[in-house]
Amino acid sequence: MTDRDQYLLGIRPQILTDQITVSSSEKFQNEVLRPILKLQNDLLLLLFKQYIVQRKNTFHNKTKTERLAFIQQSIQKDMKFKNLMVGCIIGHFTSDEWATFCTEKEEIGRRISTLLIQRLQSQMTEF
């Protein structure tokens, strides 16, 4: 394990989850993705706030339901923004985690998107 890998693992918050996992993707989600998303939470919120400003602050004129849909659509449909957000997560992978990601890219990518949407929606009051 490289020094970088040890450092990345050392700065991640610990998240307690059920030890029973259904698949390797779910295990990866609980042991890797959730801690990285928690670590990167402040940056992800700042990026979304900037995204709102770039979209002429229309977010604040929407109803709660429309805001939830706006968050979901911003991750699902705006590929440039989605790739920026996903890159903030992937950049914190260790070498082994990167190798795992490469072998299950579609499934893990879907999980990252879902977790990003849930995280942003659950903190909507921050915007």
Average pLDDT over all residues of the chain: 92
Decide if 5 is inside a domain.
no
**What pLDDT score does 57 carry?**
81
Q: By the 8 A CB rule, do 125 and 57 touch?
A: no
Has residue 7 got a pLDDT over 70?
yes
Number of domains in the chain: 1
Confidence of residue 19 (pLDDT cuts 50, 70, 90): low
Decide if 7 is inside a domain.
no
Domain range for 79 is 24-126
Decide if 98 is inside a domain.
yes
Q: What does the angle CA 54 – CA 58 – CA 43 come to, to the nearest 5 degrees? A: 50
**What pLDDT score does 25 carry?**
84
Say how far apart CA 127 and CA 120 lie, in whole Å: 9
Instruction: Quickly tell me which residue has 């979304």 as its tokens.
Output: 48
Decide if 41 is inside a domain.
yes
**pLDDT tens-digit map of 36-84:** 999 999 999 999 999 999 988 888 899 999 999 999 999 999 999 999 9
Decide if 118 is inside a domain.
yes
Decide if 3 is inside a domain.
no
Average pLDDT over residues 16-22: 70
Q: What is the dihedral of CA 66, 49, 46, 80, to 10 degrees?
A: 80
Decide if 10 is inside a domain.
no
